[in-house]
Structure 1
Amino acid sequence: MAEYILSIDIGTQGCKAAVFDREMKRKGTYFVPLALVSPQPGMVWQDPRGMYQACLEAARGAAENSKVPPAEIAAIGIDGQMAGIMGTDEEGEAVTPYDSWLDTRCSTYAEDMRRRYGKRITEITGAPVSFTHGPKILWLKHEQPQLYQKVYKFVVPSAYVAGRITGLRGDEQYFDYTHIQYSGFGDNLKKTWSEELLEVFQADEGKMARIISPFDVVGRTGREFAAATGLPSGIPVAAGCGDTAASVYGTGRMEKGMLLDCAGTASVLCGAVDSYKPDTEYDTITLMRSPDEDIWLPMAYINGGGLGLRWLRDELSGSPHATYEELEREAGKAEAGSGGIFFIPHFSGRVLPCHPKLSGCFAGLRWNHTRGAMYRSIMEGIAYEYRHYMRVLHELYPEGRFDRVYTMGGGAGSHLFNQIKADVLGVKVMPCKEVDTALEGSAMIAARAVGISTEQHKETADEEKGYIYPREENNKVYEKLAQDYLRLLEKIEEFCEGK
């Protein structure tokens, strides 16, 4: 009996695939980079066809590296970027670029939605209005009407790739419920499209794909997939979900009161709770359904937070570029607070709460500052944002513990970054053994979809390394600096908006 699972993670910077056995042990992985096109400020898109081809290449590479006989692959799971959207035709082919979550061209429509109906949108969808599906769809409708008319369904990357792999057509195309909070027009409690929101904004319900569970089998692999990957046709494909939802699910630790730090291209802080409480006061927290429906995942994120570290390495560390290890060693020599440097990490506007005109900056620079101190200040700026998210979480869920953070993603490998987060947040931090738990989450979802149990998979945190605890002296320093950061942020917002 076939018991291996192939999972595919469609990230911003590339597609990664892995083959797992039923105990969630990796047998082979493969990564294919993706191009991110940004011809001018505020415009960021990706080619859906390139995305699909990268997934095929990654699937083939992972399968070959695993040495698992192709006939032993029992199911395929897929996750992907969440807050962007693309349009497809009746054949399931993309007719628009993928409008990335980093793209802010829709900001005028986001502001209009927020002004006209903001609180009600948050109540129904679970999320404050930002640079997500609803404003992006309205932007396409009004700014590129001819292209909009070609769209039969709006879908997210995971659904697009699954649709291409299985040959979904017309109304078979779908939208899984972990994306509803970003939709702008979905009812998160009912898991349906909201007639109220569709009517208010004159959005075409016919262009909205059916909403289904991540655990639904949407089809089976076809000949094109088989020819491209060397795997057989007829493999069941699960609907899958968003990458953050998959990352949380993949930890095997869906505990109420936990916090999860996804330290990747975006910097995401996510909790786990058992009730739906939309953030209508602070416009900061987004409520996402977990794959398991009895748990809600309140979260907020920085639009490209982790990209700030790469930006400094690529643009400010000289030629040849310094390594991340070198920069971290230098940053470790700087004191808590980076000697008075503050970094605003919002290069593409602030997402939550939404301030589209805000830009990134360093403040407080002096002649004695080093690139190590600047690098450290980027980490601290991200942690200050997390501290704000945590404060709002405690307001919404005063009964929540939120006393520990499990961290994953590329940034989870940095001990200094983890220590800074522990010091700023005042809670213990534990890195996960696998930094890309989205692949595990998608594999677990696909396994469950076809009846393969992975219940024994309950570990992901690196118990051998243990928790990183906050240092009291640094926590006291950061308590004041976090307040200073928010005051600076307010002034920078006013400057960027021309006030």
Structure 2
Amino acid sequence: MFLGLDFGTSAVKAALVDGAQTVLGSTTVPLSVQRPAPGHSEQDPLTWWQAMLDAVDGIGREHGAALSAVQGIGLSGQMHGAVLLDQTGHVLRPAILWNDVRSIVECAELEEAVPDLRQVTGNIAMPGFTAPKLLWLRKHEPAVFAALRTVLLPKAYVRYRMSGEMIEEMSDASGTLWLDVGRRDWSDVMLAATGLSRRAMPRLVEGNAAAGTLRPELAARWRMARRPVLAGGAGDNAAGAVGLSAIHPGDAFVSLGTSGVLFATTDRFRPWPQAAVHAFCHAVPETWHQMGVTLSAAASLAWWAGITGVSEAELLAEVGVPVAPSPALFLPYLGGERTPHNDGTLRGAFAGLSHDTDRRLLTQAVLEGVAFSLHDCLDALAASGTRIESADVIGGGSRSAPWIAIIAAVLGIPLHRLAAGETGGAFGAARLARMAVTGEAPDAVCSAPVRAETISPPPDLVAAYAPRIAQYRALNRGVAEVVRER
């Protein structure tokens, strides 16, 4: 038996997986995000810890015997978040999250300080990444920075609480701007540029390697026959890729979570920072991946549901499967944007409204706006030489047939909905746990997922969306200065 834990922004998920790779049980514990100032996004790391305990306790209530037989635990997590610990290992302040944009100025300072930053890290300095957050902290919270001894990413903090060891793996470490992604090692130059050294960093391992052992008191809490091994694990999207068997060059998927991701596996380090494409290590050895990222995917729909006072499910049901684009346009830049703009000051907008515009058309415009932003990601990857012919879809948004139909038509490629699209990160983490315990090769463990449905875009709808993509981009250029946060 193997346990996968996925520490997302909106929830902690646990999945119990047996030797036949069947998910025996899963639980989800919701989380909330605090926004103490415009552009700020934080969570208390202690809430991840408590949510993890609640999630595994829930598994134990339903599947106690199977949980007691767990041999390995894998961790997946939201990337980039800065968990700051003092010399005793206690949290100094709330974690600054991946969708926090307060460090825009510090990004420019970091690029100026390290001229070859993009070549070493494979990425542009963006406020979502971890390193600029530390420059902001040093400037604005000097007492906290002075007390800082260790910086951990979210899942590494939970690992520390679970095992007593400070360990991180390559895929998550790639999102810090402190990793030499091609060499798969910390960069002393990048660390020094933020006033840190290797002493502040956890030990690095591959995602399928052993990375600690569960504390005895936790093993006793869950009545485990022996203390399970913890695997290195993966950042959320790399874990999703392992769950999908997207570990070979050319494999691709769309993730519709809080953020939206277009993910492509590559056989080597292939940076393309000029279009804000992310180039990261994969969670399995000698493999890398690229990502185009839009910051507000399902978050856009959640925002719109909050504005209308109508549930997301009801809004999606009103839209149905579209036969034509909405006459309204929506820019989903509620908290800035990554690919291809790398602009944390961009903000969202509706346009093209008339007396005939109703809630249904505006909901459709929100879904299309996210799809158009994913098309920007598709074009950015194509410019780097990575072409995607089809893709699986995972994340909470994968439940929506209308939304997937819209994205397929906008991207112009077939999309595959999966039988277990929402447990991808936790399931991938469980697979990494199995590899860490058994030593099996990734190909031996990562069998292809069951596809519940393939949605092929109708040619007439693809043609109808083509001019809307151009209009979306024109709207972005036209209103950027008006809606940009000052």
User: What TM-score do you get using the length of structure 1 for normalisation?
Assistant: 0.91
* SS of structure 1 residue aligned to 2:46: helix
1:163-242 mapped onto 2 (5 Å cutoff): 163-168=160-165, 173-226=166-219, 228-231=221-224, 234-242=227-235
Give the Å deviation of 1:70: 4.3
1:33 matches 2:30:
yes
Once the two structures are overlaid, the 10-residue window that deviates more, 201-210 or 187-196, is: 201-210
User: What is aligned with 1:348?
Assistant: 335
Q: Is the 8 A contact 2:268 2:287 kept in 1?
A: yes
* SS of structure 2 residue aligned to 1:488: helix
Code of the aligned partner of 1:213: E
1:458 matches 2:444:
no
Once the two structures are overlaid, the 10-residue window that deviates more, 35-44 or 60-69, is: 60-69
2:349 to 357, 361, 364: 361
Once the two structures are overlaid, the 10-residue window that deviates more, 289-298 or 381-390, is: 289-298
1:405 to 361, 383, 391: 391
Please give the alpha-carbon distance, in whole angstroms, between the structure 2 residues aligned to 1:177 and 1:395. Answer: 25
Please give the alpha-carbon distance, in whole angstroms, between the structure 1 residues aligned to 2:371 and 2:461. Answer: 13
1:421 matches 2:404:
no
1:309 to 282, 301, 312: 301
User: What is aligned with 2:366?
Assistant: 378
Please give the alpha-carbon distance, in whole angstroms, between the structure 1 residues aligned to 2:321 and 2:399. Answer: 18
Code of the aligned partner of 1:102: N
Code of the aligned partner of 2:407: K
- 1:92-113 deviation digits (Å, cap 9, x = unpaired): 3322311111211112212322
Give the Å deviation of 1:286: 0.0
* SS of structure 1 residue aligned to 2:65: coil
1:240-319 mapped onto 2 (5 Å cutoff): 240-282=233-275, 284-316=276-308, 318=309
Please give the alpha-carbon distance, in whole angstroms, between the structure 2 residues aligned to 1:260 and 1:451. Answer: 27
Code of the aligned partner of 2:208: F
1:124 matches 2:120:
yes
Please give the alpha-carbon distance, in whole angstroms, between the structure 2 residues aligned to 1:92 and 1:216. Answer: 24
- 1:441-483 deviation digits (Å, cap 9, x = unpaired): 1001000001165836523241x52x21111111112111111
1:98 matches 2:95:
yes
Give the Å deviation of 1:425: 0.8
Code of the aligned partner of 1:243: D
Give the Å deviation of 1:200: 4.2
Q: Is the 8 A contact 2:67 2:222 kept in 1?
A: no
User: What is aligned with 1:156?
Assistant: 153
Code of the aligned partner of 2:432: I
Q: Is the 8 A contact 1:7 1:443 kept in 2?
A: yes
Give the Å deviation of 1:227: 5.2
Give the Å deviation of 1:116: 5.0
Give the Å deviation of 1:384: 0.9
Give the Å deviation of 1:179: 2.1
- 1:62-81 deviation digits (Å, cap 9, x = unpaired): 13322434441111111110
- RMSD, aligned α-carbons: 2.1
Please give the alpha-carbon distance, in whole angstroms, between the structure 2 residues aligned to 1:42 and 1:207. Answer: 27
Q: Is the 8 A contact 1:355 1:493 kept in 2?
A: no
- How many residue pairs align between the two structures? 481
Please give the alpha-carbon distance, in whole angstroms, between the structure 2 residues aligned to 1:378 and 1:413. Answer: 16
Please give the alpha-carbon distance, in whole angstroms, between the structure 2 residues aligned to 1:188 and 1:16. Answer: 28
- 1:123-179 deviation digits (Å, cap 9, x = unpaired): 1111221121011111112211111122221111111111111122xxxx1221102
- 1:176-222 deviation digits (Å, cap 9, x = unpaired): 11023321222011122223333445444432222221223222221
* SS of structure 1 residue aligned to 2:267: coil
Which ranges in structure 2 are unaligned for 5 or more consecutive residues? none
Aligned residues with identical type, % of pairs? 25
Please give the alpha-carbon distance, in whole angstroms, between the structure 2 residues aligned to 1:44 and 1:358. Answer: 16
The change in CA–CA distance for 1:246 and 1:498 in structure 2 (over 3 A counts) is: closer
* SS of structure 2 residue aligned to 1:272: strand
Give the Å deviation of 1:223: 3.4
Code of the aligned partner of 1:402: I
Please give the alpha-carbon distance, in whole angstroms, between the structure 2 residues aligned to 1:293 and 1:208. Answer: 20
User: What is aligned with 1:332?
Assistant: 320
- 1:46-85 deviation digits (Å, cap 9, x = unpaired): 1111211111111121133224344411111111100212
After the TM superposition, which segments of 4 or more aligned residues of structure 1 sit over 4 Å from their partners? 115-118
Please give the alpha-carbon distance, in whole angstroms, between the structure 2 residues aligned to 1:219 and 1:293. Answer: 19
Q: Is the 8 A contact 1:18 1:27 kept in 2?
A: yes
User: What is aligned with 1:478?
Assistant: 465
User: What is aligned with 2:379?
Assistant: 391
- 1:319-339 deviation digits (Å, cap 9, x = unpaired): xx3x43432232237653212
Please give the alpha-carbon distance, in whole angstroms, between the structure 2 residues aligned to 1:486 and 1:261. Answer: 21
Please give the alpha-carbon distance, in whole angstroms, between the structure 1 residues aligned to 2:189 and 2:175. Answer: 16
Q: Is the 8 A contact 1:102 1:348 kept in 2?
A: yes
Q: Is the 8 A contact 1:27 1:67 kept in 2?
A: no
Code of the aligned partner of 2:252: L
Code of the aligned partner of 1:286: H
Q: Is the 8 A contact 1:257 1:402 kept in 2?
A: yes
Q: Is the 8 A contact 1:278 1:285 kept in 2?
A: yes
Give the Å deviation of 1:488: 1.1
The change in CA–CA distance for 1:70 and 1:309 in structure 2 (over 3 A counts) is: closer
* SS of structure 2 residue aligned to 1:79: strand
Give the Å deviation of 1:491: 2.2
Please give the alpha-carbon distance, in whole angstroms, between the structure 2 residues aligned to 1:117 and 1:490. Answer: 30
Please give the alpha-carbon distance, in whole angstroms, between the structure 2 residues aligned to 1:83 and 1:315. Answer: 29
* SS of structure 2 residue aligned to 1:36: coil
User: What is aligned with 2:60?
Assistant: 63
